Amino acid sequence: MRRILHYGIALTLVAAVHACMVGPDFHPPQPPAVTQYPGTAVTEQTASADVAGGEAQRFVAGRDIPAEWWMLFQSPALDSLVRQALADSPKLAQAQAKLLRARADFDSRQGATKYPAIDAAGSINAVGVQGDTVKPGPLAAVDFPLTLSLASVSVSYTLDLFGRTRRELEALHAAVDFERFQLEASRLMLAGNVVTTAIEEAAVREQIATTQESIDLVGRQLQIVERLEQMGAVAKRDTVTQSGELAATRATLPALQQRLEQARHRMAVYLGQPPASAQLPAFRLADLRLPNELPVSLPSDLARQRPDIRAAEALLHEASARVGVAEANFYPRITLSGQGGAVAVAPLLSGVAGFALLGASIAQPLFHGNELKGQKRAAVAAFDQAGAAYHDVVLSGLQNVADILVALDADASTLRERTAAATLADTAYEITSHQYEAGGVSLLELLEAQRRRVSASTEVTRTIAARFTDSAALFQALGGGWWTVPPANATAPPPGPPKR
């Protein structure tokens, strides 16, 4: 039996050394040959505004993004929530389980093809024969039933002469890569969702505070109008109109409170907790710092950094390997097999008889009704589809970064103008308010000045929030820096590709 096993392993090694691999060898697509993201170059530094959150931002080309990019907002509470979400999110748990499953599939198939299959078997059977059917002779004196005992070990191995098995392993390895990059994409999306939700909550809180100030202001103005009415300086109509304005302003609060609670509910789910029991901090824009420097990777590096692009590349790799599998199906398969063991028949034989078998089988497809050709055409079409999908993902990634860079520049310029408009609206309201008390303007003019003041303040808050949100979106669009994670903290790499 030992000789059979050694012989089979020797043939396997010789065949592995001289085997060829049919089908295309995969090469990663070339990165896009562009040097900038938008059609027109953006400024190296954005505009600034005289307000918190209005600092100028500088774009640093070619600099890597830190893996923990959310720490650039300098909020310990935000950092804590992002880490908690990355540790406890059920969506990440799903992605991690998919990765483990893909690795297990690869390991299983690799183990089944790398080594010969060795099986042991044994059996004991009682063989009974009717005495009157036995012819006179040596068997006539044997006592029945007989006891037949059999023990054997079998070895079999299918030679991978044309690379079918190795292409299958290559496809499974690419599937592992796909799930690994899907996990990185899920981590990036989750961190981005936590950051943008915190920014949204802070912005809504700011709007609620502005609305509350407006309610207090309109309420004080109503008291003035009521006093002027008592003095006979204004008509009852002005009091009713001002009361209606106060009610309309108060009516905007419930919708803002609803947005705030819904944002906190989403945050709880990101952390893997029920909304009712989640312990969440209260975020305000004043607690966040706008990153002064924004790293911008080169366009040629984007395809190697964005997890969604790397995942699309893995699917393209898998499709390429499947073409090789379909082509290898046209070629013969050779299987070596060996079996050895011992048999005993009591009381017919006085001892144990050994036996050994060594063989080989070959299977060559002859006619499958165009099945194999159809499978190869389908595999080639799937490869072309994966190639087009990869190209589409790359273009979408470039567009994503270009749009955000333009948005960041526009946000800064918009905030500068809206800050100036808000200052002028405050001044105009103060002047109009004094003129109304002196009888110089109508109530309608005062109400219009109030609306402009509130609207200008709200727009400033929204634009500041947009700068924070677009800064976070830029880090996401550029890949989130997962490639800069120290090896001890990085997602465990998949097993190495099969050797050719």
145 within a domain of the structure (yes/no): no
Q: What is the pLDDT of residue 228?
A: 84
What is the amino acid identity at position 54?
A: G
Rg of the chain, C-alpha, whole Å: 38
Secondary structure of residue 49 in the 3-state scheme: coil
What is the reported pTM?
0.84
- The DSSP code sequence of 330-371 is TS-EEEEEEEEEEEEEETT-SS-EEEEEEEEEEE-----TTH
- The DSSP code sequence of 77-102 is HHHHHHHHHHHH-HHHHHHHHHHHHH
Q: What is the pLDDT of residue 18?
A: 45
Neighbouring CB atoms inside 10 A of 294's CB total 22
Contacts of 439 (CB under 8 A, 6+ apart): 233
252 within a domain of the structure (yes/no): yes
- C-alpha distance across the termini of the chain, in Å: 30
Cα 228 to Cα 224: distance, rounded to the nearest angstrom:
6
- Tokens standing for residue 293: 């420097």
The label of the residue with tokens 């609620």 reads 208
Beta-bridge partner residues of 132: none
Q: Are 48 and 412 in contact (CB under 8 A)?
A: yes
Structural domain including 188 reads 21-116+161-331+369-484
Cα 40 to Cα 32: distance, rounded to the nearest angstrom:
17
Neighbouring CB atoms inside 10 A of 283's CB total 24
b/e per residue, 458-492, with b = 16+ CB within 10 A?
bbbbebbbbbbbbbbbbbbbbbbbbbeeeeeeeee
143 within a domain of the structure (yes/no): no
Domain CATH code at residue 73: 1.20.1600.10
Distances (CA, A) of 172 to 18, 19, 163, 195: 23, 20, 14, 35
- Tokens standing for residue 136: 């006179």
128 within a domain of the structure (yes/no): no
319 within a domain of the structure (yes/no): yes
For residue 389, the number of C-alpha atoms closer than 13 Å in the C-beta half-sphere is 16
> How, if at all, do strands 293-296 and 58-61 pair?
parallel
Q: What is the pLDDT of residue 498?
A: 43
Please state the domain count of the chain: 1
Cα 276 to Cα 268: distance, rounded to the nearest angstrom:
9
Beta-bridge partner residues of 117: 156
Distances (CA, A) of 238 to 432, 433, 441, 443, 453: 15, 14, 12, 6, 20
The one-digit pLDDT tens for each residue of the chain (500 residues) are: 455 445 445 545 444 444 578 888 999 999 888 888 988 878 889 999 999 999 999 999 888 889 999 999 999 999 999 999 999 999 999 999 999 999 999 998 888 887 888 888 888 877 666 555 555 655 555 555 777 788 888 888 888 888 888 899 999 999 999 999 999 999 999 999 999 999 999 999 999 999 998 899 889 888 888 888 888 888 898 899 889 989 998 999 999 999 999 999 999 999 999 999 999 999 999 999 999 999 998 898 999 999 999 999 999 999 999 999 999 888 888 888 888 888 887 665 666 777 788 888 888 888 787 888 998 999 999 999 999 999 999 999 999 999 999 999 999 999 999 999 999 999 999 999 889 888 888 888 888 888 899 899 999 999 999 999 999 999 999 999 888 876 555 555 444 444 44
Cα 498 to Cα 126: distance, rounded to the nearest angstrom:
48
Secondary structure of residue 399 in the 3-state scheme: helix
Q: What is the pLDDT of residue 487?
A: 55
Q: What is the pLDDT of residue 19?
A: 56
The distance of Cα 35 from the centroid of its chain, to the nearest Å, equals 27
Cα 374 to Cα 376: distance, rounded to the nearest angstrom:
5
Cα 433 to Cα 446: distance, rounded to the nearest angstrom:
6
Secondary structure of residue 20 in the 3-state scheme: coil
Which stretches of 5-141 are assigned E, i.e. beta strand? Answer: 58-61, 117-127
Cα 253 to Cα 204: distance, rounded to the nearest angstrom:
10
Q: Which of 163, 159, 173 minimizes the C-alpha distance to 329?
A: 163
Does 66 sit behind a cis peptide bond, omega within 30 degrees of 0 on the bond before it?
Answer: no
- Tokens standing for residue 487: 């090896």
Which stretches of 7-68 are assigned E, i.e. beta strand? Answer: 58-61
Q: What is the pLDDT of residue 138?
A: 57
Cα 144 to Cα 125: distance, rounded to the nearest angstrom:
12
Contacts of 21 (CB under 8 A, 6+ apart): 162, 163, 166, 167, 324, 500
